[in-house]
Amino acid sequence: MRFKARKFLSSKPFKNNFSMNLTYLKTLQTLTILLAISLTLGNLLAADPPNLIWELNYSSENDPAQRKWIEATVPGAVQLDVAKAEGYGAYYYAENWKDYLWMEEREFVYRSQFSKPELETGQRLLFHSLGIDYEFEIYLNGGMLLHQEGMFTPVRLDLTRHLEEMNQLEVRIFPIPKLHRVPADRSQAAASVKPAVSYGWDWHPRLVPMGIWDDTYLEILPGSHMADASVQYTLSEDYSSAEITVEVDGRELNGCMLTWKLFDASDEMIEVGHFAPRENRGSLEVHLNNPGLWWPHDQGDPTLYDYTIELSDRYGNLLQTIHGKLGFRRVRLVMNEGAWSEPQGFPKSRSVAPIQLEINGRRIFCKGTNWVNPEIFPGIITEKRYDELTDRALEANFNMLRIWGGGIVNKESFHEFCDEKGILVWQEFPLACNNYVGTPRYLEVLEQESASIIKRIRKHPSLAMWSGGNELFNSWSGMDDQSLAIRLLNSQCLNLDPQTPFISTSPLFGMGHGHYVFRDMNTGEEVYSTMNRARNTAYTEFGMPSPSSVEILKTIIPGDELWPPQPGASWESHHAFNAWVGNTWLMQDMIGNYFGELDNLGQLVANGQLLQCEGYKAIYEEARRQKPYCSMALNWCYNEPWPTAANNSIINWPNIPKPAFFAVSDACRPAMASAKNIKLRWKEGEEFSTQLWILNDLPQAMEGGKVLVRLVANKMELQLSTWEFGDADPNTNIEGPHVTGTLPDWNTNRFSLELEVEGHPEQSSSYTFLLTSVSLSQISI
């Protein structure tokens, strides 16, 4: 929702119900016109709000008593300003990030000086900040206006009565919150509503952002103005109508008039309503027939309407306009098909938790990913980055993004892009992998922050569900459904956004997180058999690591460390070693086990990326084959906040697709031929075996056809089978035959399985396998 102050534009003739003589009437009309002209000219000539130019005060690393002022970038982060002033190297190169660690213990002060603007009678000067991280105080001319803990609650302060001819605005940033001194890890975040990821994760260094991280500015508003507005609705059961509620809060609204207008995609006004506020609040009820529905992009059109809320004074002069968008949809979480029949027999426990998403009465399969911060420092995430990454999601055939609870709640433009592009958003609150003990102070801040988050995001039709956070009911967190933080968040969502589903955490009973490697490090079981024997209602995290490209590695690893990779130093800082368990995430020994001795970095990267491609395809396609009992497949993870040496992501920082991105895009096509494979490595003379499937997630039937099945190696082909399949019903798969064939002596180390759908190349599929009879040293990259 965008707020925009408007000039006084027009005046309506004053009307009364008593008789006047002609001279008096003309005089009154003249005075009215002159008043309107005066008001209009006064607003046209009124000063724009001052532009804030910021400085930052801090104490040096080696001498805390010595403080200095430097230029500051807002929005941004104190660490980036200090690094620029001190001449530090880029935090993402080698181990430079360690040079930034001392700052988390310090206090910082922003300041900006501005002259008092020329305000017309009744006008107000307001200070806005959409995000300050994390605990802070705000001062104007030495007087404290606000103390706040929490980075997701916006600041809105009326400065008018505190103004002097020359003014100094200061924002004091406290050191980062820490529950304890040691261990220095994510558990330090367990008493705050600050994203835990920045305290260190298996793909994120310990760099804890501080400072002003979202848009911050001064604004001049008329004395009578709207401060907040919401537009909510309820759809009828048959979707034929919507009951819309418009609510406005503001200042000095008595005597004013509010007008709400709704426009369709062709900018034609289709509804208008007028309402008079009382006691600075106004409410309007509107009935709309036959609203166009908002759909995820793969199910229909993400229809959006524009609306305006106009505030006029008693003379009809337009004072202010709020612009917003509205999308009509109903979203529910319902029980997965077949789940009510479980568990069977006695004694019984509860059935699995519902995780089947239903949009506008239609059950859909959610294909997507886990979204993490696109930057370590959220202050430098731009609208352009959000636009590019959400475009990538469409390219990947994703219809859902899970906003992981260890990271930030994204800026407004992210949600606007998801609305426009038809991408569902699973929004988690900033709780992850900790036991967030419900102390009175923590719950107070959580209530404040969650209310701000809900009120900001609930208006977006892309919002599909709320979640309390990530992996809170697992042993490493130790929370449960009686934890006060969970009960509070459930209550907040029910009170402030009752139409959107809420789950306590992910995973819940029946849902799956993991595995995160191609082959289990203890059992040696490959991802094919792991997934083929799995049975979950949703796979909401699963990973497959690979190295980053050689080009990226050269930008983050010093040349003398590049080959061979070793634990410690830059490779380890960038998560190649000792990141999670075992030798994650590079897993060089496993790559060598499959492909033999690796002679150079190029071989390591190419072979590791092949495993990531085939592993991710196996998981996504098997999850889809388990539909309708299974309803979701979301990999871990989509993107990364800085360049990693190895990771589970399918997009390298800042927006560079790995080969696995394109493999995942293929595996998520809405209609396709699929093979249920059983292993990666085969032997010449062995009986190759797979099973054929047709996967259809479309809302309409998929036309039947013919699949040609063959094995290919070195331009040699082995025809295995032809399968003619009938029409696939909407959102329904077809299980096909098993196909076998003896692998010939091809004198090669790789071959592929090709599924060609006659006349529909967009539905054809390909899979790569290894042969072991050829010397591993002959493997070509």
Instruction: Quote the CA–CA distance of 146 and 129 in Å, as a whole number.
Output: 12
Q: pLDDT (tens digit, 9 = 90+) per residue, 689-746?
A: 999 999 999 999 999 999 999 999 988 999 999 999 999 999 999 999 999 999 999 9
- From residue 65, give the alpha-carbon distance in Å to each of 18, 61, 102: 76, 10, 15
Torsions phi, psi for 282 (to 5 deg): -135, 150
pLDDT along the chain (781 residues), means of 10: 34 33 38 38 58 96 88 98 98 98 97 97 97 98 98 98 98 98 97 98 98 98 97 98 98 97 97 97 98 98 98 97 98 97 91 97 98 98 98 98 98 98 98 97 98 98 98 97 98 98 98 97 96 97 98 98 97 98 95 96 98 98 98 98 98 98 98 98 97 98 98 95 98 98 95 98 98 57 39
Return the structure tokens found at 443: 């719950």
Instruction: Quote the CA–CA distance of 219 and 229 in Å, as a whole number.
Output: 17
Q: What is the pLDDT of residue 66?
A: 87
Residues shown for the chain: 781
Instruction: Quote the CA–CA distance of 49 and 72 in Å, as a whole number.
Output: 20
Residues 493, 466 contacting (CB under 8 angstroms): yes
Three-state SS sequence of 110-166: EEEEEECCCCCCCCEEEEEECCEECEEEEEECCEEEEEEECCCCCEEEECHHHCCCE
The continuous run of DSSP H or E covering 46 comes out as none
Listed in sequence order, the residues at least 6 apart from 395 whose beta carbon sits closer than 8 Å to its beta carbon are: 665
Q: What is the pLDDT of residue 61?
A: 86
Q: What is the pLDDT of residue 715?
A: 87
Q: Is 268 exposed, middle or buried (0-12, 13-18, 19+ CB in 10 A)?
A: exposed
- From residue 139, give the alpha-carbon distance in Å to each of 118, 142, 213: 21, 6, 18
CB atoms within 10 A of CB 372: 23
Q: What is the pLDDT of residue 65?
A: 83
Instruction: Quote the CA–CA distance of 189 and 470 in Å, as a whole number.
Output: 14
Instruction: Quote the CA–CA distance of 18 and 395 in Å, as a whole number.
Output: 68
pTM over cut 0.85 = yes
